[in-house]
């Protein structure tokens, strides 16, 4: 199986997302099963696991024997599968073995997208 999701500069090995195609917020996804995948290229952007809202979620998800590039053993958590673009999901099971996800780091900058603006503001300061 070969799969690449490439829209709006997103290139990842897997993207599971509920979109608003019907203008009513989409529906739910229940019992998502992904099994026996040998990922040859994880892509250049994170994997996506995104429901639409707290009432339109992706739930009861099973990843069974997902082998990522550079590994000979199955991934044991979402992070190892490069799923870091996530929201509104529940009930993840990873087989054959599941370990806890790593602790998420907190970004202390008020708005990470403002990094270039802050950099420019400091560059434009003149001292007299």
Asked if the model's pLDDT at residue 123 lies above 90, the reply is: no
Summarised one tens digit per residue, pLDDT across range 37-88 is 999 999 999 999 999 999 999 999 999 999 999 999 999 999 999 999 999 9
SS percent in the chain: helix, strand, coil, step 5: 10, 40, 50
Indicate the average pLDDT of the chain: 83
Task: Give pLDDT, residue 109.
Answer: 61
Dihedrals φ, ψ of 9, to 5°? 65, 25
Asked if the model's pLDDT at residue 33 lies above 60, the reply is: yes
Contacts of 112 (CB under 8 A, 6+ apart): none
Cα distances from 75 to residues 21, 27, 66, 118, 126, in angstroms, run: 32, 29, 6, 38, 52
Task: Give pLDDT, residue 120.
Answer: 42
The model carries a pTM of 0.74
Question: Can you give the residue ranges of every domain in the chain?
Answer: 5-101
């Amino acid at each position: 199986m070969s799969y690449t999701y490439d829209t709006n500069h997103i290139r990842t090995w897997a993207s599971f997302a509920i979109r608003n195609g019907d203008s009513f917020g989409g529906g739910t996804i229940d019992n998502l099963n992904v099994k026996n995948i040998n990922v040859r290229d994880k892509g250049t952007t994170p994997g996506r696991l995104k429901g639409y809202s707290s009432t339109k979620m992706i739930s009861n998800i099973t990843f069974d024997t997902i082998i990522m590039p550079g590994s000979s053993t199955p991934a044991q958590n979402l992070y190892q599968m490069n799923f870091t673009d996530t929201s509104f999901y529940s009930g993840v099971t990873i087989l054959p073995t599941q370990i806890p996800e790593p602790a998420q780091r907190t970004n202390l900058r008020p708005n990470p997208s403002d990094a270039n603006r802050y950099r420019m503001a400091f560059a434009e300061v003149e001292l007299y």
